[in-house]
Amino acid sequence: MKIIVVGNGMVGYKFCEKLIAKKLPNAEITVFGEEQYPAYDRVHLSDFFAGKKPEDLSLAPASWYADNGIDLHLGDPVQYIRPAIKLLQTHKGHIRNYDILVLATGSSAFVPRIEGIEKQGVFLYRTIEDLHLIAAYAKKARKGVVIGGGLLGLEAAKALLDLGIQDSHVIEYADRLMPRQLDESGAEILTNTLTSLGLSIHTGKNTARICGKESITGLEFTDGTSLETDLLVVSAGIRPRGELAVEAGLETGMNGGIVVNNFLQTSDPSIYAIGECALYNEMIYGLIAPGYEMAEVAVQEICRLSANSTQRTREFTGYDMSTKLKLVGTDVASFGEPFANGPEVRNIILKDSAKGIYKRLNVTADGKYLLGGILVGDAKQYNLLLQTCKNRILLPQHPEDLILPVREGKKEEGTGITALPDEALICSCEGVTKGAICQAVSDQGCETVDEIKKCTKAGTGCSGCLPMVKDLMVHTLKQQGKYVRNVLCEHFNYSRQELFDLIKLHELKTYNEVLDQLGKGDGCEVCKPAVSSLLASLWNEMVLTKGNDTSQDSNDRFLANIQRGGTYSVVPRIPGGEITPEKLIVIGQVAQQYGLYTKITGGQRIDLFGAHVSDLPAIWSALIAAGFESGHAYGKALRTVKSCVGSTWCRFGLQDSVSFAIEVEERYRGLRAPHKIKSAVSGCIRECAEAQSKDFGIIATEQGWNLYVCGNGGSKPQHALLLATDLDSATCIRYIDRFLMFYIKTADPLTRTATWLNKMEGGINYLRNVVVNDSLGMGAQWEAEMQALVNAYQCEWKVAIETPEIRKRFNHFVNAPGEKDPTVQFDSLREQKKAANW
Amino acid sequence: MTTEKAILTQDKTWFAACRVEDVVENGGVCIKYGDEQIALFYFTRRNEWYATQNECPHKKQMALSRGMIGTKGEEPKVACPFHKKTFSLRTGECLTGDSCSIKTYPVKVEDGLVYIKVDIH
């Protein structure tokens, strides 16, 4: 059987892939494609500007066709078809007979008739060829305009930004962006977000004329306004490529779409049409998923013919046009009936203009079923909502919960996935159901998302379903009772606590020694900082020595916090929050000299933002000369010990909370731990220092101090619990020594004290027994170990600026020391600066 | 723009970037080549050299040279310090499931100098 495919786009390729998989005997497949490249991923075309090469977008190399016996002709469009004698001729003069002809000619960009559209600098946005032309022309363009505020138009606008055209505009004829997917409010939120990213949006504009002599210089609109530009990209929709079919006398629709039946047959039974050129039920399906479905149906139909069977297994009955995409970094989704309205419909709408979020659900009036909806800015729930809508799953009593932000006490996942039926379509690009994914895990032993992708193809298209695939995998594994050992990563088969003991036992001092003796492979971004933290907690040696610098988390490696744009923030230690006027002045002078943004932190100190990496040593030299030292704001280490003024000034104060806070902070400064540690000392029970929200907090009593432990603020605030009462200062310090050493030795990586306690069997009573009653008999040893760490303390920044080997690493360019990163950009805000948006 | 140039022209040259001892062991440094920023990595444990674009494609931050390197299986990789997206040092492919990838450059060492194969500007 001679099968000829006309068109080598995504759907044409998918057809070949599916047909090859059927291993039809006697099938001779020939493909004629118009473009020079073998089929490529048009969905991700704009990635080309973000650094992808044509090869990266390729679906299969030319060799794939050869390996599978397909005769591939590129750059050779078909010129005419003679259905009566089942024959076609191509541009290069090939004349072929066929038994079955498949038209997958796709669509072309719709070019509106505007005066001046032929001028130089006017482009379409459809093929890699178009992108080459745009990229070349963009070099001399400073302003760019896109006509078309739909899906592809906004992709094109992002491409202009990626090409460095900062003054980019979008023109939309309708009164809002993406009129097919979004309602007015959704489009308004999207417009605001895009505007903040630097795009200018003009809606309700009809272009009358393109101005300029040979090259474009601007646009004139029917309302009399105009806009100057150097470059124009037209993206005003698509037109199916039906010319061949029209010429061959096949039945076609208004816009040239080739009319097909439920089996993708055209009016000539030997000719099929699939993808964007096919007109089914008076509709063109301009998305990839329905195109793939059409390819599947056509393949099955051809197999049926080949086998002389009369039994039809699959037919095309239309396709859900729900979409989710990321436009210029913003989620946009619409599903089901996005605009459903009227007395039979209940609309639930959430709109947050500050956060750039808009969500709309259309629910049946009785609140039982989801009809459709729109999501802008946050489309995390898209898959779940789509499945709920498609499978007509009964809605919960309060359907609004589905789109409300998750708050404390509610589980992020849960209700959704388990409730879905096995036939729920999870990956709509490849048509993979929930059942198939769960089966891949339970029957075929897939235990990673990558394995599932290989096994089922789920998530290999637009990849939007991957979070759901992962949740399904975890859920299925749990159901099988699979135990996951709590090891650090693929390089260490130990938990953090086991490693702590082993490193101590073997007296290992560097990351490489630890990896050589206790691990395997070459390390990664998970075990490197975890082991570095253990080494620091055990030996308290300067973290950047002995080749340990590159095994530190980036912030520790540069002893500063990396911020948006790649500059750093600087936080000198201000123990207890007490500072002299002289030191305050120095901070101000340093900030002025190096142009830094200054802000008071939550921990009673001052953060200086916007420092170039090469300025850090000089900034710290000035600070250290004035008596400051590192604040370790960059480390998983003791941060601050806040205090209120206590008995020195306050009429209620019972003890000198400031002096004790300074004593505590200076004792534990630089102490590295599984996570950051915060503390505070309050002078009385009014608790102005908020000690009960800290990892350890101290509150003055008439007799001494009450010690609270394991509180934290952050995403899950938790109050600290009372560990011991009415302690004298020395006992209080001893208990804190023991408490901290116990935590450092036994907590998992990146676990705050609150979480550590929550997981501890016996809870606070057990902890009290260990720390106060010394039930493990470790008290004396822990106190001695802590004293050793305290004695080994040195200011890391002092060492860094005094050691030339370390100091020279604080440069952006190794081959141009001192030169700053030219891509760093700031905006101004309230007389200071801020990092430019990303 | 650099990517586009790389496709349109085949003109490449070996650029003497720095001396071997300028590069940190088991880590990266940033090389300036005209307007281009290249992250150069010396994977001392494996005695391998790699070079990639310095910009992380996720949030367009010039930061990959400050990232931690390591392996996933046998694949050498770098993690961006901003959001820990990881990329293969060999192919530039994103290993954390995103579709973005990074450009890679050939590297060679001769007489104590590190050379990177770059497009002629």
Q: What is the pLDDT of residues A546-565, one digit of tens each?
A: 889 999 998 999 999 999 99
Structure tokens at B42: 């010396």
Give the contacts of A584 (CB within 8 A, at least 6 positions apart): none
Cβ contact, residue pair B101, A51, below 8 Å: yes
What confidence score (pLDDT) does residue A407 get? Answer: 54
What mean pLDDT is predicted for residues A309-313?
81
Model confidence at A579, pLDDT cuts 50, 70, 90, reads: very high
Tens digits of per-residue pLDDT, A468-495? Answer: 787 788 788 877 777 555 678 889 988 8
Q: What is the DSSP string of A506-556?
A: HT--SHHHHHHHH--TT--TTHHHHHHHHHHHHH---TTSTT-GGGS-HHH
Structure tokens at A155: 């992709």
Beta bridge partners of A4: A30, A101
> Exposed e or buried b for every residue in B45-78, given b needs 16+ CB within 10 A?
beeebbbbbbbbbbbebbbbbbbbbbbbeeebbb
Instruction: Give residue A672's Cα distance to chain centre.
Output: 30
Tens digits of per-residue pLDDT, B23-43? Answer: 999 999 999 999 999 999 999
What mean pLDDT is predicted for residues A709-731?
91
d(CA A81, CA A243): 11
CA distances for A425 relative to A269, A434, A438, angstroms: 31, 6, 12
- What is the number of other CB atoms lying within 10 angstroms of the CB of residue A454? 13
> Is the pLDDT reported for residue A498 higher than 90?
no
> Is the pLDDT reported for residue A297 higher than 60?
yes
Tell me the helix, strand and coil percentages in chain A, rounded to 5: 35, 25, 45
Model confidence at A578, pLDDT cuts 50, 70, 90, reads: very high
CA distances for A150 relative to A323, A351, A660, angstroms: 13, 22, 63
A48 compared with A522, residue with greater pLDDT: A522
Query: Among candidates B53, B9, B4, B13, which has minimal Cα distance to B31?
Result: B53
Model confidence at A308, pLDDT cuts 50, 70, 90, reads: confident
What mean pLDDT is predicted for residues A524-536?
93
Q: What one-character DSSP code corresponds to residue A464?
A: T
Tens digits of per-residue pLDDT, A792-804? Answer: 999 999 999 999 9
What confidence score (pLDDT) does residue A346 get? Answer: 92
Cβ contact, residue pair A813, B31, below 8 Å: yes
Structure tokens at A586: 């120095």
Q: What one-character DSSP code corresponds to residue A463?
A: -
> Is the pLDDT reported for residue A464 higher than 70?
no
> Is the pLDDT reported for residue A704 higher than 50?
yes
Q: Which residue of A has its CA nearest to B65?
A: A812
Beta bridge partners of B69: B78
Tens digits of per-residue pLDDT, A257-275? Answer: 999 999 999 999 999 999 9
Beta bridge partners of B68: B79
What mean pLDDT is predicted for residues A406-423?
57
What confidence score (pLDDT) does residue A287 get? Answer: 82
Q: Does the residue B38 lie in any domain?
A: yes
What confidence score (pLDDT) does residue B2 get? Answer: 44
> Is the pLDDT reported for residue A411 higher than 70?
no
> Is the pLDDT reported for residue A810 higher than 70?
yes
Query: Among candidates A434, A506, A499, which has minimal Cα distance to A465?
Result: A434
Q: Does the residue B94 lie in any domain?
A: yes
d(CA A55, CA A32): 20
Cβ contact, residue pair A816, B76, below 8 Å: no
Chain B contact for A41, CB < 8 A?
Answer: no
What mean pLDDT is predicted for residues A677-699?
96
Model confidence at B6, pLDDT cuts 50, 70, 90, reads: very low
Q: Does the residue B30 lie in any domain?
A: yes
Chain B contact for A466, CB < 8 A?
Answer: yes
Count the alpha carbons within 13 Å of A450 in the hemisphere toward its beta carbon.
Answer: 6
d(CA A335, CA A325): 12
Count the alpha carbons within 13 Å of A520 in the hemisphere toward its beta carbon.
Answer: 6
Chain A contact for B81, CB < 8 A?
Answer: yes
Tens digits of per-residue pLDDT, B64-84? Answer: 999 999 999 999 999 999 988
> Exposed e or buried b for every residue in A558-588, given b needs 16+ CB within 10 A?
bbbbbbbbbbbbbbbbbbbbbbeeebeebbe
Are A2-108+240-306 and A111-236 equal in CATH topology? yes
Query: Among candidates A518, A522, A611, A499, which has minimal Cα distance to A559?
Result: A611
Model confidence at A51, pLDDT cuts 50, 70, 90, reads: low
Greatest CA separation for chain B? 39
Return the residue matching tokens 């901003």. Answer: B82
The alpha-carbon radius of gyration of chain A (Å, integer) is 33
> Is the pLDDT reported for residue A806 higher than 50?
yes
Cβ contact, residue pair A524, B76, below 8 Å: no
Structure tokens at A828: 């101004």
Model confidence at A408, pLDDT cuts 50, 70, 90, reads: very low
Helix, strand, or coil (residue A197): coil
What superfamily does domain A406-484 belong to in CATH?
A: BFD-like [2Fe-2S]-binding domain (1.10.10.1100)
Cβ contact, residue pair A525, B86, below 8 Å: yes
d(CA A300, CA A264): 11
Mean pLDDT check: name the lowest of A247-251, A358-362, A702-706, B9-13: B9-13
d(CA A606, CA A604): 7
d(CA A605, CA A586): 14
Which residue stretches of A182-269 are H helix? 184-196, 243-247
Model confidence at B10, pLDDT cuts 50, 70, 90, reads: low
CA distances for A491 relative to A323, A625, B71, B93, angstroms: 40, 43, 9, 21
Q: Does the residue B64 lie in any domain?
A: yes
Q: What is the CATH number of the domain that holds B65?
A: 2.102.10.10
Query: Among candidates A697, A693, A702, A641, which has minimal Cα distance to A666?
Result: A641
Chain B contact for A528, CB < 8 A?
Answer: yes
Cβ contact, residue pair B103, A51, below 8 Å: yes
> Is the pLDDT reported for residue A415 higher than 50?
no
What mean pLDDT is predicted for residues A812-822?
92
What confidence score (pLDDT) does residue A421 get? Answer: 80
* Closest residue to B25, CB basis, from A547, A558, A838: A547
Instruction: Give the best residue of A40, A49, A550 to mutate against chain B (max B CB count within 10 A).
Output: A550
Cβ contact, residue pair A50, B57, below 8 Å: yes
Q: What is the DSSP string of A14-74?
A: HHHHHHHHTT-TT-EEEEE-SSSS--B-GGGGGGGTTT--HHHHBSS-HHHHHHTT-EEE-
> Is the pLDDT reported for residue A157 higher than 80?
yes
Cβ contact, residue pair A549, B27, below 8 Å: yes
Beta strands A705-709; A721-727: pairing state: antiparallel
Give the contacts of B37 (CB within 8 A, at least 6 positions apart): A813, A821, A823, B30, B31, B53, B54, B55, B62, B65
What confidence score (pLDDT) does residue A462 get? Answer: 66
Fold (topology level) of A111-236: FAD/NAD(P)-binding domain (3.50.50)
What mean pLDDT is predicted for residues A430-437?
88
Tens digits of per-residue pLDDT, A642-678? Answer: 999 999 999 999 999 999 999 999 999 999 999 999 9
A484 compared with A297, residue with greater pLDDT: A297
Domain locations in chain A as residue ranges: 2-108+240-306, 111-236, 406-484, 496-552
What confidence score (pLDDT) does residue A227 get? Answer: 94
Domain that holds residue B53: 20-116
CB A536 within 8 A of CB A525: no
* Closest residue to A52, CB basis, from B27, B67, B101: B101
Percent above pLDDT 90 for chain A: 61
Q: What is the CATH number of domain A2-108+240-306?
A: 3.50.50.60
Chain A contact for B91, CB < 8 A?
Answer: no
> Is the pLDDT reported for residue A112 higher than 70?
yes
Instruction: Give the best residue of A488, A522, A544, A809 to mutate against chain B (max B CB count within 10 A).
Output: A522
Q: Does the residue B53 lie in any domain?
A: yes
Residue pairs spanning A and B at CB distance below 8 A: 132
What confidence score (pLDDT) does residue B3 get? Answer: 44
Tens digits of per-residue pLDDT, A582-610? Answer: 999 999 999 999 999 999 999 999 999 99
Contact residues on chain A for B25, CB-CB shorter than 8 A: 547, 550
CB A220 within 8 A of CB A232: no
What confidence score (pLDDT) does residue A322 get? Answer: 82
Q: Which residue of B has its CA nearest to A835?
A: B61
Chain A contact for B31, CB < 8 A?
Answer: yes
Q: How many domains does chain B have?
A: 1
CB B71 within 8 A of CB B108: no
Interfacial B residues in 8-27 facing A (CB < 8 Å): 8, 17-18, 22-27
Mean pLDDT, chain A, whole residue set: 89
